Amino acid sequence: MTPFRQIIITLVCAMLAACVFSRPQSDAPVKPSVVSGEGQQLRFQLASGVYRCESGRSVQIQRDARNTNLIEISWQGARRTLLRYDSTSGLPRYEDRQHGLLWIDLPWKSVLMDANSGRPLANECKLS
Using alpha carbons, list the distances in angstroms from residue 52 to 45, 56, 70, 99: 18, 7, 21, 22
Average pLDDT over residues 41-64: 88
Q: What is the pLDDT of residue 35?
A: 46
Residues in the chain: 128
Q: pTM for the whole thing?
A: 0.67
Q: What is the pLDDT of residue 114?
A: 95
Indicate whether 107 pLDDT > 90.
no
Average predicted confidence (pLDDT) for the chain:
77
SS3 per-residue string spanning 43-90: CCCCCCEEEECHHHCEEEEEECCCCCCEEEEEECCEEEEEEEECCCCC
Q: Are 83 and 70 in contact (CB under 8 A)?
A: yes
Average pLDDT over residues 74-87: 92
Q: What is the pLDDT of residue 21?
A: 45
Band (pLDDT 50/70/90 cuts) for residue 78 is: very high
**Amino acid code (one letter) for 30:** V
Least confident piece of the model among 18-32, 57-71, 109-123 = 18-32
Average pLDDT over residues 97-108: 91
Using alpha carbons, list the distances in angstroms from residue 44 to 16, 106, 107: 16, 7, 7
